Amino acid sequence: MKLLLDFFPILLFFGAFKLYDIYTATGVLMAATAVQMAIHWFMHRRLEPMQKATLVLILLFGSLTLALHDDRFIKWKPTVLYGAMAIALAIAFWGFRKNFLESMLGKQLRLPHRIWTHLNIAWIGYCVFMAAINGYVAAYFSTEAWVDFKLWGYAFPIVFLIAQGLYISPHLKSDDEPAA
């Protein structure tokens, strides 16, 4: 159910684009994301910072796309989001010596500090990669190619998350084990 909730806005966006156009698809994406976040809020009584940022950026860039009738805004939203995530993780880590991933997930995942460090650096690299590849496709390809990339580009996060899971699995600590 969670997987369906996570992916239904992009699937509706893709379908609306194929049936109509980028502007209809943008409106559908905005509405579907708002519904998605409302459902999540009613289920958990909170939204994660990433969910809030995604909602704000989709509504902001979607509104600009519709108001100015310019598809460049919605196409660049992922680059802005991933770029902001990379910058926030990097500044927190190297500037303030704070690992946001460990702060947010440390209660759910008990991992050695060096593994959290590796994960944080991997997330920074992943976000830079995703910002760059989306920016490249948005700048040099048609809107239709970009929409196709958005749908099939979901392979990147899936592969990244699987690789991350394989990397951390040997390092997970049980609740009985003392932390190193």
pLDDT digits (tens, 9 = 90+) for 63-77: 999 999 999 999 999
Confidence of residue 160 (pLDDT cuts 50, 70, 90): very high
Q: Which of 127, 131, 134 is nearest to 148 (CA)?
A: 134
Same domain, 63 and 108: no
pTM of the model: 0.85
- Are both 64 and 75 inside the same structural domain? no
The parent domain of residue 99 ranges over 71-180
Contacts of 72 (CB under 8 A, 6+ apart): 65, 138
Cβ contact 35:63 at 8 Å: no
Say how many domains are in the chain: 2
Please compute the mean of the pLDDT values over residues 103-127 and round it to a whole number: 92
Model pLDDT, residue 107: 83
Over range 114-143, report the average pLDDT. Answer: 96
* Same domain membership, residue 86 and residue 38: no
